Structure 1
């Protein structure tokens, strides 16, 4: 039986589940227990003991706790921001959430970095955690996004009873009043984990790519008004502040409807209001699903938009909405594609 829990499970039910799993492990793994006892009897070196128990104090957003300096079995729960952060910290990842991409392997969105042997710990399309799968991975660190932690999407209290938590986010506090500052967030978190050099290298990789592409992006897209958003079954959600917009600003581009002070980071348009997008020269949108894509394409108000008529609409997906240097570098490729689209249409 697969045990999939949400935050509504009672403490008594949780205790019973852990007891069942513990008993199954004990009776099914007698040889492993015997081997562990034998190793314990022989003793271990001080270096090994220190390595396993060495921790660092860490604070981010509403979270504060101790995390292992050098974790050996790391599980991430969303598969985007938390996964990218764990990758950049060179953590050994054994499990991942897979809410967004049910048919793909963990890390596929980062070219050359797919984690072939990582197991999944949730049901695709559902934030509920498969605790049986999670416990079987025996993590010594669980990485969780700040929004997942504060919203208690995954059952934070129960997660913390399995392994230490590491809460990460791709923006600095306060979350408004400035563009998304993924660099500042990355460095602030990495410095607490004694991994500044790794973080600096990843930022340098992005900056190098930006320096290479920025002149071309300025030439082709400079002065063009760009809209970012999400095509929905009932309209269009306009993004005003996220990582994609920060990358566009790095490239010196003009983002229509940008608003660093809107705590909601977006506003929604109905099909009847799509003419609000008429000033846009380029629309870079993500589709929640094929239904949303089909629905908006059939709307006369969408078809009349100048960007649509010029063929200057690019559709991407949710992997580029948030993250750090890896995601930002990939989104530069999307902007490069947009520049090519503009050139082809001229």
Structure 2
């Protein structure tokens, strides 16, 4: 995933899902849920209008997920749930960054009313299996940041218990361009009952296409503007390359001049990004810096490192947010391209 994958993962310690003495209680819940799953999944909250008859969807693992009826009790990674919401599909539960410490919606929650959602886990390693089972889930949906089928924010240590409760759908956001997950989420939403030919969806898709073409033209006209993509933690600054990340691969394909760390330097992160100490944060020349906007990363306004403040782009005020985990709806991705085009067009050449 984007460069803060490693800045995010080690920070919160992975929490055990089952508290002491909770195993017996969970076993009972699993058994009850197993009986209920013999039907259509039950429940009438969430989901779209749906279609009559059996439902199936072939995901990016090559797995065809089947149900006797269109899923209504949907549980999804927060960003996926937010994308489905833009298409009129509401979920029952979410896992992943949903609420900030002050109770406000996380950036990945999009337009959803987070107070109406059942949050299975708000941080890395959190996934309340009993709460999940209690929702009688018809399907679990998440993104994937590798080619092994690893479902994002589903804890590895408890995935076997979790995935026994309902079939899962994985949408790949690994080593491909932004247009792929956009198309896949749209297809998934349609299968769940969304009207993908509505004026809202058609206009959003057209806006995205127009934004893509504008970014292509701006990037060509300002190809000397070097864009560095970064993420900040207390001890390290991460410089991401354009490969592997769906947004950066798309920007690169449109002609954006992205600063590329050498492959050898990215080896420690699996090819995603280079780790730099704050003393070496000026290693690369950049005219524009895009900074990870997720709550797991330190935001530019909170950065007090002297070496950061000395960077030419920082001194020139040429720092913009990077939506490191986009909400994969055309409505949410079009502004990303528009904002980047604006920033490149306005940026001054610094060296």
Short-chain TM bin? 0.5 to 0.7
The 5 Å alignment of 1:274-293 reads 274-277=281-284, 279-286=285-292, 293=300
**TM-score w.r.t. length of structure 2:** 0.66
Larger radius of gyration: 1
Segment drifting more, 115-124 vs 197-206: 197-206
Give the structure 1 partner of residue 73 of structure 2: 73
Looking at secondary structure, tell me which structure has more helix per residue: 1
| CA drift at 1:54 | 0.9
| CA drift at 1:269 | 0.8
Give the structure 1 partner of residue 46 of structure 2: none
Distance (whole Å) between structure 1 residues aligned to residue 181 and residue 84 of structure 2: 14
Hey, which bits of structure 1, 4+ residues long, moved more than 6 A?
Answer: 5-8, 258-262
Change (3 A) 1:217 1:332: same
The 5 Å alignment of 1:209-220 reads 209-212=211-214, 214-216=216-218, 218-219=220-221
Q: Is the 8 A contact 1:127 1:153 kept in 2?
A: yes
| Structure 1: unaligned runs, 5 residues or longer | 24-35, 37-49
Change (3 A) 1:67 1:230: farther
| CA drift at 1:224 | 0.4
| CA drift at 1:329 | 1.8
Q: Is the 8 A contact 2:220 2:255 kept in 1?
A: yes
Aligned length: 300
| CA drift at 1:228 | 0.6
Verify: 1:298 aligned to 2:316, yes or no. Answer: no
Verify: 1:223 aligned to 2:219, yes or no. Answer: no
DSSP 3-state at the match of 2:25: helix
DSSP 3-state at the match of 1:198: coil
Distance (whole Å) between structure 1 residues aligned to residue 165 and residue 185 of structure 2: 22
Give the structure 1 partner of residue 58 of structure 2: 58
**TM-score w.r.t. length of structure 1:** 0.67
DSSP 3-state at the match of 1:256: coil
Residue 337 (structure 2) aligned to one of 299, 312, 332: 332
Residue 181 (structure 1) aligned to one of 165, 177, 189: 177
Give the structure 1 partner of residue 280 of structure 2: 273
Q: Is the 8 A contact 1:58 1:65 kept in 2?
A: yes
Q: Is the 8 A contact 1:71 1:91 kept in 2?
A: no
Change (3 A) 1:65 1:7: farther
| CA drift at 1:138 | 3.0
